[in-house]
Structure 1
């Protein structure tokens, strides 16, 4: 697939953006299918379902996330892996996650 996706917080969503993955509720039911063009009304409705980030389709050359969001995500990764050793499988997994978030993974 030539399209990439990025995660955006609800306050960064705009009408016309395209949902990259199905949006599921807590029970696994599809709220919105992948490929839906977001409208102002759907963005407002999504907020009532305790959703904080959405996967949005982006072009390959488009900046994946802004610097502030990337920093927040990297801090979260550090927190999640805080008990992992500096070597071994957990460190390898951490590196893969960091590369994914930085947009370096293919």
Structure 2
């Protein structure tokens, strides 16, 4: 099985990146840490399933919850937020 999306902890840190091959040992490790389910890619599927945009937007809001979009003094975080949003929401990304 291949991990469909990155696996994050409660603070938003990446535990396993997108595309990680899940082995029996890694699945057992996840279970020991209380992780009972993850999203995996469909075997043989050429197309990835459509991302749930509302869930992605909610996750991004959580990750950048300490960033005020209108704060001109925190321009670097604003730029990072825009790049991450564009990537995750597939805006302007050619495949």
Higher relative contact order (CA 8 A, sep 6+): 1
Hey, which of these two has a bigger chunk of strand by percent? 1
Q: What is the TM-score of this pair, normalised by structure 1?
A: 0.43
Q: What is the TM-score of this pair, normalised by structure 2?
A: 0.46
